[in-house]
């Protein structure tokens, strides 16, 4: 699964993207957030308050109950602020 | 013809406007250029974006503008990366047969870009760098187009 992070999500995690093999049980965005939170202090800081986050699956806005699979691109970011 | 570009480098407003004149039936071109404001002591602003996603989101709004007004050409150029006050940040140019459609569509697109376009802004001030939070008040300018 390809993961992308933007703005302060990227800063807290310390990277802009990564390729991860997640357990098969991680089949929704919400489950992915829980899984990522366990990966370290930076992830915990980024995903602590999921209400502050928005996500996209394969470059389309997605809700946290959206299904995801190993070949998907999932991006996490704060609400957009415009240009 | 629509062109949407997100780029780090500056753009040439004259060249963008000239490119809108290629359509033949054009009677009006409305253009808008946005500049970075210092906004009470801001030293610089860095715009972050999601390549691919950002172009897709902006394209959807350009398509909506084209469905609302009879447009002959649309060009949107938005810069990303680190920008300082006074620098050009955005260009919107709209060509139509008549001025009303060109003015309205340009304003519609700018209202969208300023409030909903998928960018994140990091402002640098003497006190440090902070990410700009999404503001409710900006939504008023978008609501009037509904």
Model confidence at B138: pLDDT above 90: no
Structure tokens that stand for B100 in this block: 């009303």
Structure tokens that stand for A66 in this block: 């959206």
Complex ipTM, two decimals?
0.90
Residues 42-101, chain B: which have Cβ within 8 Å of A?
A: 47-50, 52-53, 56, 78, 89-90
Instruction: Give percent of chain B above pLDDT 90.
Output: 83
Record: fold of B2-143:
Aldehyde Oxidoreductase; domain 3 (3.90.1170)
Stated length of chain A? 83
pTM value is 0.91
Q: Where are the alpha helices (DSSP H) in B21-116?
A: 53-68, 99-115
Residue B11 sits at the chain A interface (C-beta within 8 Å): no
CB atoms within 10 A of CB A3: 19
CB contact at 8 A, B25 and B97: yes
Stated length of chain B? 146
Across the interface, of A10, A75, A80, the residue whose CB is closest to B119 is A80
**Domains in chain A, CATH or no CATH each:** 2-77 (3.10.20.30)
Q: A21-64, pLDDT tens digit by residue?
A: 999 999 999 999 999 999 999 999 999 999 999 999 999 999 99
Phi and psi at B65, nearest 5°, equal: -60, -40
The whole-angstrom separation of Cα B11 and Cα B78 is 9
Q: Strand pairing partners for A76?
A: A5, A55
């Amino acid at each position: 699964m390809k993961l992308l992070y933007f703005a302060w999500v990227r800063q807290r995690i310390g990277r802009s993207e990564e390729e991860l093999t997640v357990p098969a049980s991680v089949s929704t965005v919400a489950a992915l957030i829980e899984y990522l939170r366990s990966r370290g202090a930076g992830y915990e800081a980024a995903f602590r308050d999921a209400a502050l986050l928005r996500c996209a699956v394969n470059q389309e806005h997605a809700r946290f109950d959206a299904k995801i699979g190993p070949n998907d691109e999932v991006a996490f970011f704060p609400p957009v602020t415009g240009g | 013809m629509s062109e949407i570009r997100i780029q780090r480098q500056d753009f040439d407003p004259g060249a963008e406007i000239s490119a809108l004149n290629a359509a033949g039936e054009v009677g009006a071109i409305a253009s808008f250029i946005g500049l970075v404001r210092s906004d009470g002591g801001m030293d610089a602003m860095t715009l972050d974006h999601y390549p691919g996603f950002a172009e897709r989101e902006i394209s959807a709004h350009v398509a909506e503008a084209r469905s609302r007004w009879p447009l002959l050409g649309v060009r949107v150029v938005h810069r990303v990366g680190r920008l300082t006050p006074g620098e050009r940040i955005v260009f919107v140019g709209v060509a139509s047969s008549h001025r009303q459609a060109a003015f309205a569509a340009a304003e519609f697109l700018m209202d969208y870009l300023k409030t909903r376009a998928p960018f994140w802004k990091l402002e640098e001030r003497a006190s440090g760098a902070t990410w700009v939070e999404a503001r409710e008040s900006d939504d008023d300018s978008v609501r009037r187009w509904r």
